[in-house]
Amino acid sequence: MQVVQEFKKFIMRGNVIDLAVAIIIGAAFGKIVTSLVNDIILPPVGLLVGGVNFSSLSITIQAPVIDTAGQIIKEGISINYGNFLQTIFDFLIIAAAIFFFIKTFNKLNKKEEPKPAPKEIPADIQLLKEIRDLLKK
């Protein structure tokens, strides 16, 4: 029973709940960025590099074995580097978006540093200044 109470106390902390919300929003943001990369950015980039569809880029290590009827007996083995490139694009766009979001957020939340209060002149120094001023007269 003690473990259940400790677990409940742990879960109800503010930072654990904040982390859970951040993970959920991050997952949704990841889907948006993936769609942005796949559907908007990569098609023009593929067109610029000769009509290449990045997701289909691969290096075949072993060709598939096909029988005389055209049925695949054994799947081929390939390195799908196109998917890897697409994942790198996703990461770079997500990282840039988060960087600019945090930079803007920090700029908006920048607190003004309080100006230091003028130092109070000690009484003996003030008295000496008054004596000096009287002697000048």
CATH of the domain at 72: 1.10.1200.120
Say if 123 falls within a structural domain: no
Please report whether residue 130 resides in a domain.
no
* The total number of structural domains that make up the chain: 1
Look up the domain containing 73 and give its range: 2-111
On whether residue 137 sits in a domain, the answer given is no
Per-residue pLDDT reduced to its tens digit, 18-50: 778 888 888 888 888 778 877 888 788 778 877
Domain membership of residue 48 (yes or no) is yes
Is 132 domain-assigned?
Answer: no
Contacts of 37 (CB under 8 A, 6+ apart): 86, 89, 90, 93
Span 58-93, pLDDT tens digits: 888 888 888 888 888 888 888 888 888 878 877 888
Establish if 33 belongs to a structural domain: yes
